[in-house]
Amino acid sequence: MATILIVDDDAALREGLAETLHDLGHRSVEAPTGLIALDIVGREHIDAVLLDLRIPGMDGLEILRRLRAEPAKAPPIAILTAYASAANTIEAMRLGAFDHLTKPIARADLAFLMTRMLRVRASDPTITTHTPPEDEDLVGSSDAMRAVQKTIGLVADSDATVLITGETGTGKELVARAIHRHGRRGRGPFVAVNCAAIPAELLESELFGHVRGAFTGALAERSGAFRDADKGTLFPDEVGDMDLTMQAKILRALQERSVTPVGGRLVRVDVRVLAATHRDLAAAAQEGRFREDLFYRLNVVPILLAPLRERRSDIIPLAEHFLRQATEPAKHLGPDAASRLLAHAWPGNVRELKNAIERVAILCRSDTITAQDFDFLSTTTPARGPEAPGWADGDLASAVSRLEAFMITRALRDAGGNRTEAARRLGIHRQLLYAKVQKYGIDVDEPSADRTADVLKPDDPRRAPPENIK
């Protein structure tokens, strides 16, 4: 039996988590504040910690930082928050959090989390105390986007090479800049080079530099992107578009951490490389269009950005974010406009969405944007898959509320009004079910007499005697 510390100022949530942990065979200890949590960890053996982010007096990140100050003694710590953002997800993972999850957490997810936390101790990253920057452009709470945010936090302080892949317009450079900003090289330069936009005969000079007189037109010395990024990060974008000759030179630079300017001598560089491409480099390597050894050298830590059509829950938050950037005061999306955005295929991904929002922000004279303002999207490819169900009409919050109310009502009906059984079917805590039943005004019928009889013990005096026993 493991001892789990629950740190949360919400007594009902602590009680719900404690009840589930008890059912899973664990002992729980509760702390409503950070100071109490630190005191408990200091005097009692704790196997794992479930930590809220928003706690009065001392926030979760500060508690995490203090608990991880001695990594060898710190238990694995999972962040549970109802207010997940790119910034706090990345920073929590960078500070050594085992995982970063959103509330409410289903029973099955909590059981899986505890299995992993108790099997493996959290890693021991270097602890720093700088204030985390805000990643306002890494908007999105879909599973795919949160996985990216967690990976950013884990690799930020490393010097490992990262290969960021995804369709055009998914935000690969934003991810690279976030890794740079959150890492220990954040105060150094970030140099981006679009390998597809530079002619092959000029790319070597662009990356490695040249000395004066090295070739016709070389009237002055050029340092090159590798040396410009010294002590910082180099972001070669679209590396899949380089020719094989340049690939060989890039491979050597990565392996030896040195470059040779055109016409010059070998120069050592201290650079971290975050590369990106929209191409399938593994397939290109098999076909001989990309060096296999370079692919493995770049693909140390892969990050895949899913296309926007595969993470539709991010569309409306992204659109509202771009509206706030484009207008002051910000305009608002009407329900029909939100539905139009959700129905579009977005072949250009986040870049297309941003351009569409900027367009309507300029042309729409009203404070509320309607579906008609997005009529220009009708010429694009329609979204694949079935049409959205009726409950998905309107804005996102209303759609989620209707879905929740429907699922809770159905679970209560199927459970005969038994709230504990309904909560189990839904994978949520009983206290959360009570709160949502009250929120949505759902009528709950008491369990039937027949159902009550089903769960009576055989020797219970209330149980009716069997009939026709011979």
Number of domains in the chain: 4
Backbone dihedral region for residue 349 (phi beyond 0: left; psi -120 to 50: alpha; all else: beta):
left
Each residue of 348-403: pLDDT tens digit?
Answer: 999 999 999 999 988 888 888 998 999 998 654 444 444 445 555 555 666 777 77
Radius of gyration of the chain (CA): 28
In a domain, 469, yes or no: no
Task: Please state, in angstroms and rounded to a whole number, the distance separating the CA atoms of residues 246 and 254.
Answer: 12
In a domain, 395, yes or no: no
Same domain, 321 and 302: no
Q: Can you give the pLDDT at residue 378?
A: 64
Same domain, 13 and 92: yes
pLDDT of 132 above 50: no
Q: How far is CA 112 from CA 103, 107, 234, in A?
A: 15, 9, 38
Domain end call among 356, 388, 420: 388
Higher confidence at residue 391 or residue 312?
A: 312
Which of 259-268, 291-300, 416-425, 430-439 has the highest average model confidence (pLDDT)?
A: 291-300
Look up residue 357 and give its amino acid. I
Same domain, 320 and 420: no
Domain hosting residue 409, numbered range: 401-454
204 contact partners, CB below 8 Å, separation of at least 6 = 246, 249, 262
Instruction: Tell me whether residue 184 is exposed, middle or buried, using C-beta atoms within 10 angstroms of its C-beta: 0 to 12, 13 to 18, 19 or more.
Output: middle
Same domain, 283 and 294: yes
Same domain, 320 and 290: no
Q: Which helix (H) or strand (E) holds 4?
A: strand 3-7
Same domain, 407 and 437: yes
Same domain, 320 and 371: yes
Domain end call among 135, 169, 203: 135
Same domain, 169 and 248: yes
* Mean pLDDT in residue range 437-442: 80
Determine contact, residues 357/320, Cβ cutoff 8 Å. no
For the domain that residue 435 is a member of, what is the CATH number? Answer: 1.10.10.60
139 phi and psi angles, rounded to 5 deg: -80, 140
- Sign, CA torsion 264/267/271/276: positive
Domain end call among 388, 416, 446: 388
Each residue of 230-283: pLDDT tens digit?
Answer: 999 999 999 999 999 999 999 999 999 999 888 888 899 999 999 999 999 999
Task: Please state, in angstroms and rounded to a whole number, the distance separating the CA atoms of residues 50 and 14.
Answer: 10
Q: Can you give the pLDDT at residue 261?
A: 87
Each residue of 27-46: pLDDT tens digit?
Answer: 999 999 999 999 898 888 89
Q: Can you give the pLDDT at residue 17?
A: 92
Same domain, 295 and 221: yes
